[in-house]
Amino acid sequence: MTPSASPFPPPPFSDPRLTEQRNPRTERIDVASSLDIVDLLNAEDRTVPTAVHGERERIARAIDEVVAAFGRGGRLVYVGAGTSGRLGVLDAAECPPTFGTPPELVIGLIAGGYPALIKSAEGAEDDVNAGMAAIDDAQVTPRDVVVGIAASGTTPFVRAALSRAQTIGAKTVLVSCSDPPKQLADTCDVVILPKVGPEALTGSTRMKAGTATKLVLNTISTGAMIRMGRAYGNLMVDLMALSDKLRDRGQRIVMEVCGVDRDAARRAIEDAGGSVKLAIVMAKTGQSHDAARRALEAAGGFIRKAIGDPPPVMGTGA
């Protein structure tokens, strides 16, 4: 027994998972005022970025795995249950409008299927067969990388999905906020563990664990897309101008990068078939659509390699 070990056994109602433990800082939250509740929750939330930062090297490894998967013609596949599954589907859904990717490049699988996005299906997380079937239905191959998301690290649906993906030969990543079973940790290629500690409401992993998960997934997908040339400086140039908001954003990007007025930017995007990236190369170099496309392809899709550095950020008073 170590000097710090308790001589008493843990109570029968205790749970070894960090996400299931009680938080002593919020034990009187049920008698707090509205403002005090806000302060208590905010104080807990402030611990999340530090926990995520502690996993920076493992998150970077996950980005490298996704970039490698894209390079071999594979996909990024998120799989989770409950809040974890919804966050995976959300991150996947945001990639096409943000980065101009085909919807099949990043996909999200959730226990209970898409109905579980809008109506909870908590029992679905225990269905091991469904976890394996989800991987098969998604036609996962050895070219893919599968990111399992399980706040507690023990979700049967996710564990079964990762096991099936490993059997197929896909790379696997686990994102959890509590230590997973050793066998699961040992078999995944990357394990990301932002340990945010007990929740303000015991076991409510939609809170700190959910916030940490959102930060991790944002970083993985954004980092991979940047590494694949889908940004120019910090400009979101691979978007397709298919809505009023995106058309306005695309025009402003072309105006800033190429030093043209809005009418010229609008014409360039129209001539580029809605592609802001292609419009930039066309407007900056005066090349035709086909010539600009070939220049981008020769540069591996990286605008900086095709036309040089972007303009510096102008002062905004921020």
pLDDT digits (tens, 9 = 90+) for 174-209: 999 999 999 999 999 999 999 999 888 898 889 999
Q: Give 228 or 16, the one with higher predicted confidence.
A: 228
For the chain, the average pLDDT equals 91
pLDDT at position 4, please?
A: 52
- Provide the edge-to-edge strand list for the sheet that holds 145-149: 106-110, 76-80, 145-149, 171-175, 190-192
Distance between CA atoms of residues 64 and 47, nearest Å: 26
The answer to whether the beta carbons of residues 69 and 227 sit under 8 Å apart is: no
Q: Residue holding tokens 């990357």?
A: 190
User: Quick one: average pLDDT of 33-44?
Assistant: 96
Q: Which of 89-93, 142-146, 201-205, 225-229 has the lowest mean pLDDT?
A: 201-205
94 as an active site residue: the answer is yes
CA angle 75, 118, 114 (to 5 degrees): 35
Give the CA-trace dihedral at 189, 194, 198, 199, to 10 degrees.
-110
Q: Where do the domains of the chain lie?
A: 49-227, 244-307
The answer to whether the beta carbons of residues 54 and 233 sit under 8 Å apart is: no
**3-state DSSP helix/strand/coil % of the chain, to nearest 5:** 55, 10, 40
The answer to whether the beta carbons of residues 171 and 144 sit under 8 Å apart is: yes
Helices 56-71 and 208-227: crossing angle, nearest 10°?
A: 50
| Residues facing 146 on adjacent strands | 77, 172
Q: What's the pLDDT band for 9 if we cut at 50, 70, 90? A: low
pLDDT at position 2, please?
A: 43
What are the angstrom distances between the C-alpha of 13 and each of 30, 127, 185?
Answer: 21, 25, 26
125 as an active site residue: the answer is yes
- What is this structure's pTM? 0.90
* Fold of domain 49-227: Rossmann fold (3.40.50)
Active-site hit among 125, 199, 256, 297: 125
| Residues facing 109 on adjacent strands | 79
What tens digit of pLDDT does each residue of 46-87 get? Answer: 999 999 999 999 999 999 999 999 999 999 999 999 999 999
Q: 45 in helix, strand or coil?
A: helix
* Fold of domain 244-307: Helicase, Ruva Protein; domain 3 (1.10.8)
